[in-house]
Amino acid sequence: MRVALALILLASPALAQDPPPEVAAIVEEAKGICDGTFTAAPEAITPVDLNGDGTLDWVVDSGAFRCSTSTSLYCGTAGCGVDTVIDGTRGSLLLHSWDTVTEGGITYLIAPNDRGETVRFLWTGSEWQLQ
């Protein structure tokens, strides 16, 4: 597990600080369900301020995970697992893609819905809430 996380960190110079243990646990869970060789692209782990408090939070996007024995293990028609770690609390969503936007001093996680419309999610401190 440490090797996979180290490879992700080495390949992604944007990670100026080490991810918290919760991020490593998410990657370990994903690796644990793969019966073959597990790999993760550099964009699997992204530091970003998700709640507008000025400190980095973490996004783990399983769309950047690969398992040699299954092409659809981490993503399906509903999207890919996107886990966030904000102040030590894990949040989970199924998304096709994601980004962030700050409006009126509030930061939202944004993503397309099944109709291609952009929807916003707000972090409540314990979960993501559709706005």
The pLDDT, as a whole number, for residue 69 is 96
The pLDDT, as a whole number, for residue 11 is 45
For residue 63, the 8-state DSSP code is G
Contact yes or no for 45/15 (Cβ under 8 A): yes
Question: 9: buried, middle or exposed (CB in 10 Å: 19+, 13-18, 0-12)?
Answer: middle
Contact yes or no for 86/48 (Cβ under 8 A): no
23-32: long-range contacts (C-beta < 8 A, 24 or more apart)? 23/58, 23/60, 23/85, 26/60, 26/83, 26/85, 26/90, 27/1, 27/60, 28/1, 30/62, 30/65, 30/74, 30/81, 31/1, 31/4
Residues 94, 103: Cα–Cα separation, whole Å: 23
Angstrom CA distances, 21 to 16, 26, 124, stand at 16, 9, 22
Tell me which amino acid residue 6 is: A
* pTM value surpassing 0.75: yes
The pLDDT, as a whole number, for residue 94 is 96
pLDDT string in tens for the chain (131-residue length) = 444 444 444 444 454 578 999 999 999 999 999 999 999 999 999 999 999 899 999 999 999 999 999 999 999 999 999 999 999 999 999 999 999 999 999 999 999 998 989 999 999 999 999 99
